[in-house]
Homo-oligomer: A and B are copies of this chain.
């Protein structure tokens, strides 16, 4: 099978599935190695961008999904009543950013950084499946450790957790003892 045909099939698979599809599924369906599939999909991502296609391939972890481009948002909104869901509250966003950078982390540690209680924010984030329990700390009370989910990567357009914007370098401020 030639590369052109493989690309065509991958596009068809992504289109049909709609949801994120893993590299593993793609490669096993087509019967090629994961490495080959990976390279071909990266080619496709570039081609889609180069040709200014109406859809793009978004990636997070080892999953791929088709979506429209942000710059077309205005046009597509004319088809749909805009999504009514509100963005996250500041409290939830702050809590989420602490978890994202410091995971795994307990509620007490988060609250120590924010200086306020976080129960409500944590519940919202759990409910929206942006964070999950990733374990328990082996100490009194066995406090829950929180971490981010795939849904988090998807909703924030991150390929992986390493892609988080860098935390502002504090060496500039030149303060001792900040970890």
Please report A residues at the B interface, Cβ cutoff 8 Å. 4-5, 7-19, 21, 25, 29-30, 52-55, 66, 68-69, 72, 75-76, 78-81, 89, 108, 115, 120, 123-124, 126-127, 139-141, 174, 176-179
Contact = CB atoms under 8 A, between A and B. Distances in A.
Contact of A75 (B19, B29, B123): B29
A88 to B, nearest CB: 10
Nearest to A30: B75
The 6 closest A-B pairs by CB, nearest first: A11-B54, A12-B54, A12-B68, A127-B177, A8-B54, A123-B177
A108 B80 CA distance: 10
Contacts of A126: 177
A11 B52 CA distance: 10
Nearest to A91: B179
A145 to B, nearest CB: 14
B123 A4 contact: no
